[in-house]
Amino acid sequence: MAELLDDAPPVVLHTRVRDLPWHTPFKWLKLALGDIRATPTGLLFYGSAFVAMGWAIRGLFGYAPEHTMTLVTAFLLAGPFICLGLYEISRRHETVDKVKLLPTLTALRINASGISLFAIILALLVAGWMRVSVVVFALFFTDDIPSVAVMLTPKFLLQPDNMTFMIIWLGSGALFALLTFALSVVSIPIMLDRDADTFNALFASVRVCLANPVCMLTWGAIIVLIVLAGFALWGVGVALTVPLVGHATWHAYRALIE
């Protein structure tokens, strides 16, 4: 019986959460740069995959601005799952100096059931946001929908109806983003590192946000700014920005969970 208890996975729900100052996320980014320098092949492979995803969105849905903007923001919501391999690189760096890329491609197998269920929950949130986003576009634009470039011009944004559209669209997106962020900020790293089940990981992630509201808001804002900056640079910038956020997320988990 003692052996069975020793082999049981830890109960993450009762794990202590650290209280960190607001500026701590900048330290996570610095540590993430160390991971990138140590395993540049990870940046090359995963970064290229993210760029390909961005170009695919632009190529397939460039004719439909409502889909392009929705999918770009959905990319942010799906980030915790698509960065799985990057978390594994950072995890392996803690025990070995040189990390091989190939084993990180199958990181899902470490906790397949827990991470797969989390991916389903994440997919439902992304699908919900995409439906809400398309409905908001349909309510405000009955004729031709302006291009993304036009939507970002001051002339468009300063019109009263367009301002109302942007407030509602961004507000509804922010609600989905906050919910997704609270549920996922450290969920997958916990499942990778401690073989935790999905719901214990989700509860721990929410506890992290409740214990560190200012620090987490700072971290969330940094993620949004960094990733959107990557998309703004013709999509090529995500080759660096998304891996940077992925590695930093692992260090966030290490810093936040005792």
Q: What pLDDT was estimated at residue 11?
A: 46
- Structure letter (DSSP) for residue 177: H
Strand partners, 17: 257
Cα–Cα distances in angstroms (integers) from residue 162 to residues 117, 132, 137, 232, in the given order: 38, 17, 11, 22
Question: Any idea what the Cα angle at residue 23 is, between residues 186 and 74, rounded to 5°?
Answer: 45
Rounded to the nearest integer, the mean pLDDT of the chain is 85
Give the pTM. 0.84
Cα–Cα nearest to 103, from 41, 47, 52, 48: 41
User: Residue 141 — φ and ψ, nearest 5°?
Assistant: -125, 95
Give the mean pLDDT of 165-194: 92
Q: Enter the tokens of residue 258.
A: 């005792």
Give the mean pLDDT of 85-103: 89
Cβ contact 209:185 at 8 Å: yes
Q: Where are the alpha helices (DSSP H) in the chain?
A: 2-7, 24-38, 40-61, 65-82, 84-93, 101-104, 112-140, 148-151, 154-157, 160-184, 187-194, 198-211, 213-232, 238-256
SS3 123: helix
Give the mean pLDDT of 211-240: 87
**CA pair distance 57, 51, nearest whole angstrom:** 10
- In this predicted structure, the answer to whether residue 215 has a pLDDT above a threshold of 90 is yes
Give the mean pLDDT of 228-257: 87
Q: Enter the tokens of residue 185.
A: 């900020």
Give the mean pLDDT of 199-224: 94
pLDDT in tens, 29-41: 999 999 999 999 9
- Structure letter (DSSP) for residue 16: -
**Confidence band, pLDDT 50/70/90 cuts, at residue 62:** low
Cβ contact 241:33 at 8 Å: no
